[in-house]
C-alpha cells in the first residue's frame, strides 16, 4: 500500500480503501455507489472523535457508506462502543513483503530509524546508539534542498542519513544493513516502518507506544525500552548481540500481517453484501487485493485514473 492513495479493494460493487483526509474527500466525491474504508493516519481517540463524526455525517449526506478501519485496540474499543462501522484490521497489513525481504547484506549500522523530521518521532532518544542511520524526510532542508537532519536534531549529529528522497528498494537495503530497527514515538498511527524492519528479518527496539504497531510485536525479537537514550542504546546492544534468526523474525511477523489481511478481506465481504452484492469469499478478496503485481493493492490517485469512476 502506498499511503496517500485510493485503493480498489473490490470493483463490483465498488469498495475503496483510503488513508488521509484529502483521499477521503476524493473518495466521497466519486459518482455512483461506493463503499469507503478509511484507515487512520494517527491514533483515533476522544480528541479526534468530533472530526470522525463530521466525516461520518458528510458521508451520510452523500449516500456513501463509510467504514472506520482500526489499527489499534483502543480505537476499536472506542468506535465499537459508539456504533461506528468498521473493524480492527491494521493499516500495516498493506506492507509489501516483496520489497521488504531478507537480503543478507553485510551489517554496517547498529540501528536504523525510518522517521520523518517531526518532534513526535523523538529522534534524540537514539543519541547514544553509535553506528546509526536515519531514513528521513521533512521540511528541514539545506539551501540546495537536501535533507538537513543534523540541524533538525543536533543530538544525532553522528548519524548518517539520506540527503535526498529514498526509494523503497533503497530503504529495504539500509534496513538489511542494520542490526536493529528503531520505533521511538510515543503516539502515532500503525507505523508501517515498524513492520518493514521485521519483514527484513531485523529485530526492533521500541518505546512504549500507542497507535497499533504493538500488535505486531513478539518478545523473541522486540524490546520495549524506556524513553531514555541510555535505555534505548542498551536495548539495541542487547538485541544486536543475540544473533536472532532473521527468518524467525520475518515468518512470525508475516503470520501476524496475514491475520490482519484476512480480517480485512472478511470485512470487505461483509461490505459487499451490505451493498447488495454476493460475497466472493475472503480468500478471493485476498487473492484480488494482496497477490497482484508486487504483492500490493491496486491503487490509483491521479485524476485521469479516477475518470472511469467519475468525480462528483
Which CATH number characterizes residue 124's domain?
3.40.50.2000
Same domain, 274 and 240: no
Cα separation, 113 vs 184, in Å, equals 8
Q: Is residue 104 part of a domain?
A: no
C-alpha neighbours within 13 Å on the C-beta side of residue 193: 24
**Residues present in the chain in total:** 312
Contact between 110 and 180 (Cβ < 8 Å): yes
DSSP-derived secondary structure for 59-90: HHHTT--EEE-BSSHHHHHHHHHHT----B--
Same domain, 12 and 88: yes
pLDDT, tens digit, 9 for 90 and up, residues 62-86: 999 999 999 999 999 999 999 999 9
Domain count, the chain: 2
Cα separation, 265 vs 269, in Å, equals 6
Provide the pLDDT for residue 23.
87
Q: Is residue 100 part of a domain?
A: no
Cell representation of residue 189: 498511527
Reading the chain (312 residues) residue by residue, the pLDDT tens digits are: 445 678 888 989 999 998 888 889 989 998 889 999 999 989 999 999 999 999 999 999 999 999 999 999 999 999 999 999 999 999 999 888 989 999 999 999 999 999 999 999 999 999 999 999 999 999 999 999 999 999 999 999 999 999 999 999 999 999 999 999 999 999 999 999 999 999 999 999 999 999 999 999 999 999 999 999 999 999 999 999 998 999 999 999 999 999 999 999 999 999 999 999 999 999 999 988 888 644 444 444 333 445 555 544
Same domain, 27 and 157: no
Same domain, 132 and 85: no
Q: Is residue 227 part of a domain?
A: yes
Q: Is the pTM of this model over 0.75?
A: yes
Same domain, 156 and 239: yes
Of all residues in the chain, what percent carry a pLDDT higher than 90?
A: 82
Same domain, 124 and 197: yes
Same domain, 214 and 124: yes
Domain that holds residue 269: 6-93+258-306
Cell representation of residue 47: 480528541
Same domain, 70 and 26: yes
Same domain, 135 and 224: yes
Same domain, 247 and 128: yes
Domain boundary among 253, 272, 292: 253
Provide the pLDDT for residue 64.
97
Same domain, 153 and 140: yes
Same domain, 83 and 192: no
Q: Is residue 117 part of a domain?
A: yes
List the 222-224 sheet strands across, edge first. Answer: 160-161, 132-135, 109-114, 178-183, 204-206, 222-224
Amino acid at each position: 500500500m502506498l499511503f496517500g492513495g485510493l485503493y480498489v479493494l473490490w470493483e463490483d460493487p465498488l469498495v475503496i480503501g483510503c488513508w488521509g483526509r484529502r483521499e477521503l474527500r476524493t473518495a466521497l466525491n466519486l459518482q455512483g455507489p461506493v463503499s469507503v474504508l478509511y484507515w487512520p493516519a494517527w491514533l483515533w481517540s476522544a480528541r479526534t472523535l468530533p472530526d470522525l463524526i463530521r466525516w461520518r455525517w458528510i458521508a451520510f449526506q452523500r449516500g456513501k457508506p463509510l467504514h472506520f478501519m482500526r489499527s489499534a485496540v483502543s480505537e476499536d474499543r472506542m468506535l465499537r462502543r459508539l456504533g461506528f462501522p468498521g473493524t480492527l484490521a491494521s493499516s500495516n497489513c498493506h506492507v509489501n513483503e516483496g520489497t521488504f525481504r531478507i537480503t543478507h547484506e553485510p551489517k554496517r549500522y547498529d540501528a536504523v530509524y525510518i522517521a520523518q523530521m517531526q518532534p513526535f518521532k523523538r529522534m534524540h532518544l537514539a543519541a547514544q546508539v553509535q553506528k546509526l542511520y536515519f531514513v528521513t524526510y521533512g521540511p528541514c532542508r539545506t539551501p540546495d534542498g537536501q535533507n538537513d537532519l543534523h540541524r533538525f536534531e543536533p543530538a544525532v549529529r553522528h548519524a548518517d542519513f539520506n540527503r535526498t528522497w529514498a526509494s523503497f528498494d533503497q530503504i529495504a537495503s539500509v534496513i538489511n544493513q542494520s542490526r536493529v530497527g528503531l520505533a521511538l514515538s510515543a503516539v502515532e498511527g500503525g507505523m508501517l516502518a515498524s513492520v518493514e524492519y521485521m519483514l527484513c528479518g531485523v529485530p526492533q527496539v521500541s518505546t512504549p507506544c500507542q497507535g497499533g504497531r504493538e500488535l505486531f510485536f513478539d518478545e523473541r525479537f522486540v524490546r520495549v525500552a524506556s524513553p531514555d537514550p541510555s535505555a534505548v542504546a542498551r536495548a539495541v546492544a542487547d538485541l544486536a548481540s543475540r544473533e536472532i534468526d532473521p527468518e524467525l523474525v520475518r515468518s512470525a511477523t508475516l503470520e501476524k500481517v496475514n491475520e490482519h489481511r484476512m480480517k480485512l478481506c472478511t470485512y470487505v465481504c461483509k461490505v459487499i453484501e451490505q451493498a447488495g452484492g454476493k460475497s466472493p469469499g475472503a480468500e478471493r478478496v485476498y487473492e484480488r487485493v494482496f497477490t497482484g503485481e508486487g504483492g500490493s493493492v491496486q491503487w490509483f490517485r491521479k485524476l485521469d485514473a479516477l475518470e472511469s469512476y467519475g468525480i462528483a
